[in-house]
Chain A
Amino acid sequence: MLRVRSLTTHYGGIQALKGVSLHVDTGEIVALVGANGAGKTTILNTICGMVPASSGEVLFDGKPVTNAAPDRLVRMGLSQVPEGRQVFAPMTVLDNLKLGAYARPRAEKKREMKSDLEFIYETFPILKERSKQHAGTLSGGEQQMLAIGRALMSKPKMLLLDEPSVGLAPLVVKEIFRVISRFRDLGTTVLLVEQNARASLGIADRGYVLETGKILLEDAASELLINKEVQRAYLGKGYRHVWE
């Protein structure tokens, strides 16, 4: 579904990605874990065409899409749930969701908007209750649900999620991860970026560990969870006595 080869990205003179290669097969949930500043967001934004790649290649659905315009990628079925949610704060929840479907063909929108909204409301019932409310008045967790719902409204084949759990209460995190793990049954492929390595590897099939712009490790999620290095650096094992 998604294949990234030797991707490098620069911000001015700073190199944020130093040749990243990864792939996500159809129907998979793949976790990408890494510390602050490792380049996780940069990978997603380079894939989406929000940030230009300096070299390397991105293939989506078998087609080369390196540095393609973001709207083209959305139309091809690749959607991102961004860091910081980026909802349209002064617009209603319903308008936010409808805008999620903006890039789809008009006729299709007309036909399917209602059932698609139903589906989102089933997934996140709170959004139905809040549908007339401005997105900016939602709680952090609700905004995250809205951001996911908005991305789903484009009917993506693949979803990129950037730290959906950040800053949320454990119960809400659980709920969101439960929804993400259900995408597998819906046939939506997922690349999940997280600092919360335990939770994300818990629902993922495979995982990558990113450190300062480079992929350090790649393995089955279950293997990464018991990997000594990962445990030490990202799961906090062995440091427990220090923190608790």
Chain B
Amino acid sequence: MDLTSQILQYVLSGITVGAIYAIIALGFSLIYNAVEIVNLAQGEFVMLGAMLAVYVLQAAGVPLFAAVLIAIVVVGGVGALLGLAAIHRLKKSSPLSLIIITIGASIFFKGVAMHLWGKDALPLPAFSSGDAIEVHGAVLVPQSLWIFGITALMLLGVYIFYERTSFGKAMRAVAVNKHGARLVGINVNRMVVWAFAISAALGAVGGIIVAPVTLASYDMGTMLGLKGFCAAILGGLGSGGGAIAGGLILGILENLGAGLISSAYKDAIAFVVMLLILFVRPSGLFGGRSADGR
């Protein structure tokens, strides 16, 4: 492989994983907008989505498509429960203790998954069979195309939800001005629960589409969650477009860095990028609100 096709390869792989980061980052932003807390259990929704899809597929013997849907809905429900717990605590707790609650939840989810499904990585079948595609010397597995396509659909869906539906606009209103939202008769608590449910479902989708490439395991959520968080900070916490851009930039940088410098630095790159952003431009590349809430 010559250098250009090598770089192309890194970029393509970067976009693939970056798309996953983008979906996770979007989940962070959704919840952050609704309640101004960072939900550190976001990564576990990713894991739960993947693990549940594998489990339902094997245990219930339903088609892949159905297993995936069931997993997404169940994880959405789990998210709603976490949202309920959060609003229950919201009145009495500081943001910090709420964040700690989400850390507790993430440890809990991870533990439950390990007990239920063991420590081994489990396979989820690719969504379609077929050979890898060659693009100017770089190769792309068909699942990557699924990842691009589904991610694009999700992002479009979230965009339409916020910009075109009255329910979505009400959720934006909650993000923008809670006092005003209450005054027009929006039930803010209910919106917070929905925000958790939607983020959880989004996370689950991310886990499900990546599982055929990376396998599903009880501990996959930690690193993915952190990377998604970095992507959200990079793009600007709370900004939808920023989440997408942050995810893609991070994915590409990571793969270029790992490929051209050393794969030992792969995970470090994300955190270095995040720290740089926090120092230089805390509100992220695309505005949003700064990570410390100002």
Question: Which residues of A does B touch, CB under 8 Å?
Answer: 48, 50, 69-71, 73-75, 79-80, 82, 86-91, 95, 98-100, 102-103, 150-151, 154
Contact = CB atoms under 8 A, between A and B. Distances in A.
B180 A88 contact: yes
Interface size on B, as a range, is 10 to 19
A99 B183 contact: no
Q: Which 9 A-B pairs have the closest CB atoms?
A: A103-B185, A74-B185, A86-B180, A71-B185, A70-B182, A88-B176, A71-B187, A88-B173, A86-B179
A158 to B, nearest CB: 14
B186 A91 contact: no
A13 to B, nearest CB: 17
A73 B182 CA distance: 10
7 contacts: A69-B187, A75-B185, A86-B179, A86-B183, A98-B169, A102-B166, A102-B185
A102 B182 contact: no
Given A98-B166, A102-B166, A88 B172 contact: yes
Contacts of A98: 166, 169
B258 interface: no
Contacts of A90: 176
Given A71-B185, A91-B173, A98-B166, 7 more contacts: A71-B187, A82-B180, A86-B179, A91-B169, A99-B173, A102-B185, A103-B185
A99 B184 contact: yes
Contact of B186 (A73, A87, A102): A102
Contacts of A99: 166, 169-170, 173, 181, 184, 186
A89 B176 contact: yes
A48 B176 contact: no
Contacts of B94: none
A70 B173 contact: no
A91 B184 contact: no
A98 B179 CA distance: 17
